[in-house]
Structure 1
Amino acid sequence: MMSRLNDISLQSTFMGVLVAFVGFASSFAVVIKGLTTVGASAEQAATALMVLSIAMGLSAILLSLYTRIPVSVAWSTPGAALLASSGAIEGGFPVAVGAFIICGGLFVIAGLWRPLGKLVSLIPAPLANAMLAGILLGLCFAPVKAIAFNPLWGISIALAWVIAGRINRLLAVPAALLALILIMFFAVDIPEENTARLLQDIVPSFTLVTPNFTLAGFIGIALPLFIVTMASQNVPGIAILRIHEYEPKTGLLVSFTGIFSTVSAFFGGHAVNLAAITAAMCANEDAHPDPMKRYWSAIISGAGYVVLGLCSGLVTGFVAIAPAILIESVAGLALIGAFSNSAVLAFNDAEHREAAAVTFLVTASGVSFYGVSGAFWGLLAGGLIFWITDSIAKKRAKSSATV
């Protein structure tokens, strides 16, 4: 253990602190929005945020110490966006929690049983990206709606995001969040009793949620949450580690984060997974010149997540007293990059562009059928168009070959 302590450096410590701040600040609003949309109370959302942050912190610490590679872990931001676009589910938050538990179990199985992981990879990339783009679209409208709500406040938040993003992309969302805090401090009249309550409830209580398992929860939340998290978080997370010449044990990492997802689900947490963007921060030369010592950046970030998680009562209390549209505006700004990237990848393939468009439109409609969210139906409808297109193309190719 002493040799591992010798690997720590000021550079990796700074990067780890930055990763924790950026990872938490840039997406906690999306997580809270998603959880409350599917029925979580303010207390349940605070507990879930705390447990998710602690879970991803402990996962990063333990996996990085064991593997000696910079394993960065995050909560599923695309998954939270999926929840935010799904709307309330019949049966309320207990049904959503039951779906979260199933999803965590699927992560464990995907890590231990390779065929399931390979099955996810068989989902056509244009459709997976189109589904994600459709999920994110509604939230990305929020900054425009915030400007309509209050032009001065909405434009101030958007300008902070634009200007900071031109200096450093990673500072864009924290700058927008800082602008929101300044607006709340100087421009919004907050009753003194709310401020006092905010300071009293910094650390939320652990609130267990009794799960309810339903077919609608499985199809409408668990499956789409599993697919979107695997496709947009776990798979890119592994790819980024490999790009930086690490050889991660994919099954171990996915199943381990799946265990933490399952545990956090009992407290209302939706999913933790391998990180993508912050993984690149921990794995590049900015974390340490020596690739063999960069794992400490992920360990420090994990410790940072645990500390931030313990302050989640303060975070959710702030969200409760802030105008909802301003919180959604920060969340929407945080997701614009992910939306643009997924949209480009979805429509890049001309042959399957129509299938991607169907997936995108059905998902973005937000319409649920039989209690099942549009994300599932979008993937199903797009998959049907994709299969028909491929079948016709193969028949034509076969006919041309025989002529």
Structure 2
Amino acid sequence: MNTQNISAGILSALMACTGGAILIMNTADLIGLTQPELISWLFIVYFIGGSLNMLLSLRYRIPFAGAHSITAVAFLSTAAAHFTLQELAGSFMMTGGLIALLGFTGIFNRILELIPKPLIDSMLAGLILNYVVQIVPAFKESPYIAGFAILGFFIVPRFSKSIPPLFGVLVFGILALFLGYDFPMISKAQFSWPQVIMPSFTVHGFLSISIPVAVLILSNDLAVALAALKKNGFHPPTNKIIVYSGIGTALVSLFGGHAVNIGGMMTALCSSEEAGLKENRFRAAIVSGVLVALFGFFAWKIIVLIEALPAFFITMITGFSLLSVLLGSLQTAFTTSTYRYSILFTFVIAISNVSFLGISSAVWSLLIGGITAKVLGEGKVHQSK
């Protein structure tokens, strides 16, 4: 274990434990979860997610890093409000089963080819855009604190390209809060184990929650992670990794968790040259997994600290945590010249966040986008390459 392994592991864990946790808390608030239910959600996805990636890294000597799907949480924040906790648990269990089935059958790549990647990215960009836009009113509410945080976004990465800008936002923003904000009295919290939830299975949940969440996990987490590993000279057991993520997701659904999987950007960081010599990079993922698991175990303490932060600051951190995802999605979607109107329709429908016939805007965006591409013959040149 060296400093490169440790620093890459710490930065990887920060990716999951900052914006991802705040997104879960925002979503839990929107759907009216109690504090014990929120603690259960955070505990299970971080503790099991970190442990799973740590064990896989030890087993295969390959740097697998992750916790849960941040993009799936961003989707849930707009789609989950119309479901009970039991229906969500059932939907998440079906998501896990669907992912595991794709791994067992080995048809993951064929399924993904049925949904053009530019349309998935366009849908994701539409879902995330609303969060990023909220950075502007957050800045207006407190120009001093928000301005200081934004300064960190530009300054900190100049010291090292391996440090994500979000880290600068957090450091400078928290410093500004200590200098210019009166924190309220921090309430006491009690430790609680994850709560078992009896799942309820519905067709509505499968169509509006299970399928979109599975698509997001497969395309924006697993596919990205596996591609990054191969790019950096590793040979991961693709189908087994998909199965493990599916089984993990089905398991945590019993406690209100939405997903457990290998993370895209976290694995990309731990498998890169910044994590040290190739044969030792799995140690960076182990550091990441341990920190993520500890974050989950102490979720009961951490949420009271986050709740003490002002709302505008949490909104700003959420927006910045999704900024790189938005940028990557927009670049992939709108630089694909063979898809034009289908991408635009997908993007606009996803932004609308309007459900119709009980089906979420994310599903409708992919459906309308896919039909548009088929009718107008878009994407044919791209598919033939």
Distance change (3 Å), C-alpha of 1:326 and 1:353: same
Question: What CA deviation, in whole Å up to 9, does each residue of 1:138-185 have, x standing for no partner?
Answer: 111121121233332332332222332444453421332334434554
Using the TM superposition, give the Cα deviation of residue 287 of structure 1 relative to its aligned residue in structure 2, in angstroms: 2.1
Using the TM superposition, give the Cα deviation of residue 326 of structure 1 relative to its aligned residue in structure 2, in angstroms: 2.1
Maintained 8 Å contact 2:99/2:245: yes
Equivalent position amino acid for 2:238 in 1: T
What secondary structure sits across from 1:274 in the alignment?
coil
Q: What is the correspondence of 1:234-313 to structure 2 with a 5 Å cutoff?
A: 234-289=222-277, 291-313=278-300
Equivalent position amino acid for 1:244 in 2: N
Separation in 1, partners of 2:156, 2:33? 33
Using the TM superposition, give the Cα deviation of residue 189 of structure 1 relative to its aligned residue in structure 2, in angstroms: 3.7
Equivalent position amino acid for 1:281 in 2: L
Maintained 8 Å contact 1:43/1:204: yes
Correspondence for 2:117? 125
Q: Verify: 1:111 aligned to 2:103, yes or no.
A: yes
Distance change (3 Å), C-alpha of 1:180 and 1:263: farther
Equivalent position amino acid for 1:40 in 2: L
Using the TM superposition, give the Cα deviation of residue 120 of structure 1 relative to its aligned residue in structure 2, in angstroms: 2.3
Q: Verify: 1:353 aligned to 2:345, yes or no.
A: no
User: Among 170, 176, 199, which residue is 1:211 paired with?
Assistant: 199
Equivalent position amino acid for 1:216 in 2: H
Equivalent position amino acid for 1:363 in 2: A
Equivalent position amino acid for 2:375 in 1: I
Separation in 2, partners of 1:295, 1:154? 37
Correspondence for 1:151? 143
Maintained 8 Å contact 2:339/2:379: no
Correspondence for 1:13? 6
Unpaired segments ≥5 residues, structure 2:
none
User: Among 61, 78, 83, which residue is 2:76 paired with?
Assistant: 83
Q: What is the correspondence of 1:61-76 to structure 2 with a 5 Å cutoff?
A: 61-76=54-69
Separation in 2, partners of 1:111, 1:212? 24
Using the TM superposition, give the Cα deviation of residue 275 of structure 1 relative to its aligned residue in structure 2, in angstroms: 1.7
Q: Verify: 1:367 aligned to 2:368, yes or no.
A: no
Question: What CA deviation, in whole Å up to 9, does each residue of 1:30-58 have, x standing for no partner?
Answer: 23223433443333222211211111111
Equivalent position amino acid for 1:366 in 2: N
Maintained 8 Å contact 2:249/2:259: yes
Separation in 2, partners of 1:92, 1:145? 31
Correspondence for 2:16? 23
TM-score normalised to the size of structure 2? 0.91
Maintained 8 Å contact 1:35/1:83: no
Distance change (3 Å), C-alpha of 1:191 and 1:26: closer
Maintained 8 Å contact 1:111/1:117: no
Maintained 8 Å contact 1:137/1:339: yes
What secondary structure sits across from 2:81 in the alignment?
coil
Separation in 1, partners of 2:69, 2:6? 24
Q: Verify: 1:344 aligned to 2:331, yes or no.
A: yes
TM-score normalised to the size of structure 1? 0.87
Maintained 8 Å contact 2:138/2:312: yes
Separation in 2, partners of 1:27, 1:38? 17
Distance change (3 Å), C-alpha of 1:370 and 1:384: same
Larger Rg belongs to: 1
Correspondence for 2:53? 60
Maintained 8 Å contact 1:242/1:248: yes
Using the TM superposition, give the Cα deviation of residue 319 of structure 1 relative to its aligned residue in structure 2, in angstroms: 2.9
Using the TM superposition, give the Cα deviation of residue 196 of structure 1 relative to its aligned residue in structure 2, in angstroms: 4.6
Q: Verify: 1:230 aligned to 2:218, yes or no.
A: yes
Separation in 1, partners of 2:53, 2:24? 19
Question: What CA deviation, in whole Å up to 9, does each residue of 1:198-254 have, x standing for no partner?
Answer: xx44x4432222322222221111111111111111101100000011111111111
Unpaired segments ≥5 residues, structure 1:
1-7, 395-403
Q: What is the correspondence of 1:150-169 to structure 2 with a 5 Å cutoff?
A: 150-168=142-160
User: Among 43, 67, 72, which residue is 1:50 paired with?
Assistant: 43
Equivalent position amino acid for 1:79 in 2: A
Using the TM superposition, give the Cα deviation of residue 325 of structure 1 relative to its aligned residue in structure 2, in angstroms: 3.1
Separation in 2, partners of 1:392, 1:385? 11
User: Among 130, 146, 165, which residue is 1:138 paired with?
Assistant: 130
Using the TM superposition, give the Cα deviation of residue 336 of structure 1 relative to its aligned residue in structure 2, in angstroms: 1.1
Maintained 8 Å contact 1:65/1:299: yes
Maintained 8 Å contact 2:18/2:321: no
Maintained 8 Å contact 1:161/1:172: yes
Separation in 2, partners of 1:116, 1:295? 25
The percent of aligned pairs where both chains have the same amino acid is 26
Equivalent position amino acid for 1:138 in 2: N
Question: What CA deviation, in whole Å up to 9, does each residue of 1:248-273 have, x standing for no partner?
Answer: 11111111122111111222111122
Equivalent position amino acid for 1:261 in 2: T
Where does structure 1 differ by over 6 angstroms across 4 or more consecutive aligned residues? 391-394
Correspondence for 1:176? 169
User: Mean alpha-carbon deviation: is it higher for 176-185 or for 109-118?
Assistant: 176-185
Separation in 2, partners of 1:393, 1:48? 42
Maintained 8 Å contact 2:145/2:177: no
Separation in 1, partners of 2:367, 2:378? 16
Separation in 1, partners of 2:273, 2:104? 32
Question: What CA deviation, in whole Å up to 9, does each residue of 1:51-102 have, x standing for no partner?
Answer: 111111111121111111111223101101111232511x422222221111
